[in-house]
């Protein structure tokens, strides 16, 4: 197989580890603290997870652990959307297993959780592993979004693991995947199956975080990739001086990606969904804000600019949030009838009859293409697929209409040309940055240490990430600690609570202090491509979000 020069060079990169993980793997152990509680719904969750609820937080320390030298088979699963660094999680896990005992085996289940239930797997060999080190993508074993939710699925998992003599499963995924990992761990415990489950925090959205999970892997690389593209567009906008670029960025629920990209590139406008919700800003007020900035810049003879829009914005606008909530409930409880409605006209008529008066008004006022997108097939949780809603086009259309009104009123004499973009898949499989290559390798290596210490229902944790890798702190966090109950398919289900942008946090405050200046004065920054070789300040800096949170 032919490879690019960069790919060949990256194969040879040696990821850095926290100092404690450089010790003899049979000479490190977990030191456990006091029992924990979930962030909410403690009584209900304790009943749901009687065997795994309330585990203590653990820190890796020096100490004998001869079990790490036992030959064992471990299974690994990639779950959900791709994120840069997934291959290095598996590489770290693989290397740790082999350091424990060269006879141990790593079994990769293919195409996500369905590979486990279908018993479709490969043994990851040294030669095979070496062709994926420090590269992007999940193609080493593939990924999938199958949910492990039923007892029949859980029993099949036990059967497959017993057949392959698997002692533990490592599930690499986001909040939903790690919730599934916790449910699986609880079921295995209840059945005395003797199979451990360890999770690894993955999502480019950055919404799987807390004091122990300082960032999810992939966020660093994805935001730097998007920031390069945004910087390129900013330079083009400043060169041509005739277009407003509306750029939608991935972030299903939280605006971490948009915020980080704004800190890296200094656009004229960056909408933060969490602020929109906190200030109860309507769609019309958002349009008014953007229109005001367009006019101000036009008066300065700058008929161009860049607007960053989080993917999930539409669910944070009060009237849209209410509409979407009603749509989700309607389609969840009347799915059978709704599927009999063949035409969009019939669907929208039925929807309008069953919505509240306010929501019906909002739905009817939207352009027909947005209405259609709101009624598309639901996601696996029964919710609107916001990534399919072209919010950037909606805002362009509404800003253009508002500017035309103001032009007729004599309040706007400039020009408004627009282009739209959506950056999503461009960042999910990028070559991981040095930070993500190191962080992911450490997470995978640490996952084996947790297994060797007998833990289950835990997530691999590496923190102190604003410091050099040698100062990182490896540990373990019980998944139930991060959980609450949320409405899914019309019923309350345990899930890891998403971490949204904190408006009193340092990253947002840094942004808010400068955005009025960026709106009027062209202050674009051009980060350029991710660098892998060179001085630390160019190659090994974490995100501005992480640095601000550790100031």
Q: Is the CB of residue 395 less than 8 Å from the CB of residue 406?
A: no
Taking the alpha carbons at both ends of the chain, their separation in whole angstroms is: 45
What mean pLDDT do residues 462-477 have? 97
Q: What is the pLDDT of residue 381?
A: 60
* Burial per residue of 478-506, b for 16 or more beta-carbon CB atoms within 10 angstroms, e otherwise: bbbbbbbbbbbeeeeebbbbbbbbeeeee
pLDDT band with cut points at 50, 70 and 90 for residue 189: very high
Q: What is the pLDDT of residue 519?
A: 98
Residue 451, CB half-sphere, CA atoms under 13 Å: how many?
36
Most distant pair of Cα atoms in the chain: their distance? 80
Question: CA–CA distance from 523 to each of 150, 263, 304 (Å)?
Answer: 53, 11, 13
Report pLDDT digits (tens) over 44-62.
999 999 999 999 999 999 9
Report pLDDT digits (tens) over 503-525.
999 999 999 999 999 999 999 99
pLDDT at 323 over 70: yes
What mean pLDDT do residues 517-534 have? 97
Mean pLDDT, all residues of the chain: 95
Q: What is the pLDDT of residue 152?
A: 96
What mean pLDDT do residues 196-208 have? 97
* Burial per residue of 274-290, b for 16 or more beta-carbon CB atoms within 10 angstroms, e otherwise: bbbbeeebebeebbeeb
If one compares 195 and 341, the residue with the highest pLDDT of the two is 195
DSSP secondary structure code for residue 530 in this structure: -
pLDDT band with cut points at 50, 70 and 90 for residue 333: confident
pLDDT band with cut points at 50, 70 and 90 for residue 336: confident
Q: What is the pLDDT of residue 338?
A: 86
pTM of the entire predicted model = 0.94
Q: What is the pLDDT of residue 489?
A: 66
Sequential DSSP letters for 48-106:
H-TTTTTPPPEEEEE---GGGGS--EEEEEEBSS--TTHHHHHHHHHHHHHHH-TT-EE
* Burial per residue of 144-183, b for 16 or more beta-carbon CB atoms within 10 angstroms, e otherwise: bbbbbeeeebbebbbebbeebebbbbbbbbbbbbbbbbbb
Q: What is the pLDDT of residue 380?
A: 62
**205 catalytic per annotation:** yes
pLDDT at 490 over 70: no
Report pLDDT digits (tens) over 82-111.
999 999 999 999 999 999 999 999 999 999
Which position among 95, 175, 176, 205 bears the catalytic label? Answer: 205
Sequential DSSP letters for 211-255:
SSS-S-BTHHHHHHHHHHHHHHHHHHHHHH---EEEEEE--SS--
pLDDT band with cut points at 50, 70 and 90 for residue 178: very high
What mean pLDDT do residues 112-138 have? 97
pLDDT at 416 over 80: yes
CA pair distance 466, 506, nearest whole angstrom = 14
Domains of the chain (ranges plus CATH)?
5-218+432-496 (3.40.50.450), 220-428+505-549 (3.40.50.460)
Q: What is the pLDDT of residue 382?
A: 65
């Amino acid at each position: 197989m032919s490879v690019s020069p960069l790919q060949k060079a990256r194969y040879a990169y040696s990821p850095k580890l926290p100092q404690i993980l450089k010790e003899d793997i049979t000479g490190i152990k977990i030191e456990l603290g006091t029992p924990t509680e979930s962030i909410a719904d403690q009584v209900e969750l304790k009943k749901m997870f009687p065997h795994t609820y309330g585990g203590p937080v653990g820190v890796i320390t020096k100490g004998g652990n001869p079990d790490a030298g036992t030959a064992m088979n471990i299974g690994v699963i990639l779950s959900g959307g791709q994120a840069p660094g997934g291959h290095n999680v598996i590489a770290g896990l693989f290397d740790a297993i082999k350091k424990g005992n060269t006879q141990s085996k790593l079994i990769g289940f293919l195409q996500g959780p369905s590979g486990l239930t279908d018993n479709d797997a490969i043994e990851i060999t040294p030669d095979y592993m070496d062709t994926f080190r420090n590269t992007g993508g999940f193609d080493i074993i593939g990924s999938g979004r199958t949910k492990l939710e039923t007892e029949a699925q859980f029993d099949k998992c036990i059967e497959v693991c017993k057949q392959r003599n698997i002692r533990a499963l490592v599930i690499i995924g986001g909040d939903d995947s790690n919730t599934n990992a916790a449910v699986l761990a609880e079921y295995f415990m209840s059945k005395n199956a003797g199979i451990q489950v360890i999770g690894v925090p993955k999502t480019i959205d950055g919404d799987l975080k807390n004091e122990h999970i300082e960032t999810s892997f992939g966020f660093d690389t994805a935001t730097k990739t998007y920031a390069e593209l945004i910087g390129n567009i900013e330079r083009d906008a400043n060169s041509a001086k005739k277009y407003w670029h509306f750029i939608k960025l991935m972030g299903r629920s939280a605006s971490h990606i948009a915020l980080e990209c704004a800190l890296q590139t200094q656009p004229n406008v960056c909408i933060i969904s969490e602020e929109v919700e906190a200030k109860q800003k309507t769609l019309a007020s958002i349009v008014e804000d953007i229109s005001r900035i367009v006019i101000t810049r036009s008066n300065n003879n700058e008929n161009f600019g860049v607007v960053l829009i989080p993917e999930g914005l539409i669910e944070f606008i009060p009237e849209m949030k209410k509409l979407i909530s009603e749509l989700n409930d309607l389609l969840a409880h009347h799915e059978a009838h709704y599927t009999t409605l063949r035409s969009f006209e019939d669907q929208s008529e039925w929807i309008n009859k069953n919505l509240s008066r306010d929501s019906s008004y909002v739905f009817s006022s939207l352009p027909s293409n947005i209405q259609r997108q709101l009624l598309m097939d639901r996601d696996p949780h029964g919710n609107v697929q916001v990534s399919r809603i072209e919010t950037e086009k909606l805002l362009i259309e509404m800003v253009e209409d508002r500017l035309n009104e103001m032009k007729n009123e004599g309040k706007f004499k400039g020009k408004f040309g627009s282009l739209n973009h959506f950056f999503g898949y461009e960042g999910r499989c990028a070559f991981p940055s040095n930070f993500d290559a190191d962080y992911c390798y450490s997470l995978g290596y640490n996952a084996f240490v947790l297994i060797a210490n007998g833990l289950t229902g835990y997530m691999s944790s590496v923190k102190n990430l604003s410091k050099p890798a040698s100062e990182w702190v490896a540990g373990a966090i019980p998944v139930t600690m991060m959980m609450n109950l949320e409405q899914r398919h019309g019923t309350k289900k345990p899930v890891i609570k998403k971490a949204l942008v904190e408006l009193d946090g340092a990253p947002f405050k840094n942004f808010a202090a400068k955005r009025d200046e960026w709106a009027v004065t062209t202050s674009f920054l051009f980060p350029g491509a991710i660098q892998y070789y060179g001085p630390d300040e160019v190659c090994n800096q974490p995100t501005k979000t992480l640095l601000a949170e550790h100031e």
